[in-house]
Structure 1
Amino acid sequence: MAELGQIATKIRSKNAGPFWLTIDIFCGDRAAFDRVSEGLSTDRVAALFRVPAETLKRFDIADLCVVKFSLPRPQVQGTGRDRDMHGAAWAVLLEEVEIN
Structure 2
Amino acid sequence: MATLLDYCSLVRSKNAGPFTLTFDFMCHDQHTYQALTNTGILNRTLFAGLFNTTENEILVVNHPRALAVKVSLPRPSIQGDLHDSDCYAGQQYAPLMELQLPELP
TM over 0.5: yes
Corresponding residue of 1:95: 97
Helix, strand or coil for the counterpart of 2:13? strand
Shift of 1:78: 0.5
Deviation at 1:55, TM superposition (A): 0.9
What is the total number of aligned residue pairs between the two structures? 100
- Residue 48 of structure 2 is matched in structure 1 by 46
The one-letter amino acid of 1:22's match is: T
Alignment-derived partner of residue 31 in structure 2? 31
RMSD of aligned C-alpha atoms? 1.3
Match of 1:72 in 2: 74
8 Å Cα contact 1:24/1:68 also seen in 2: yes
| Secondary structure, aligned partner of 2:49 | helix
List runs of 5+ in structure 1 lacking aligned partners. Answer: none
Q: CA 1:19 to 1:67, structure 2 compared with 1: closer, same or farther past 3 Å?
A: same
Give identity over the alignment, percent: 32
Q: Deviations over 1:43-76 (max 9, x none)?
A: 2232222321111111100000001100100111
Under a length normalisation based on structure 2, what TM-score does the superposition of the two structures give? 0.87
| Structure 2 unaligned blocks of 5 or more | none
Q: Name segments (4+ residues, structure 1) moved above 6 Å.
A: none
Aligned twin of 1:2: 2
TM-score with structure 1 length normalisation? 0.91
Aligned position for 1:86: 88
Distance in 2 between the 1:41 and 1:13 partners? 14
Change (3 A) 1:93 1:28: same
Greater shift in the superposed pair: 88-97 or 46-55: 46-55
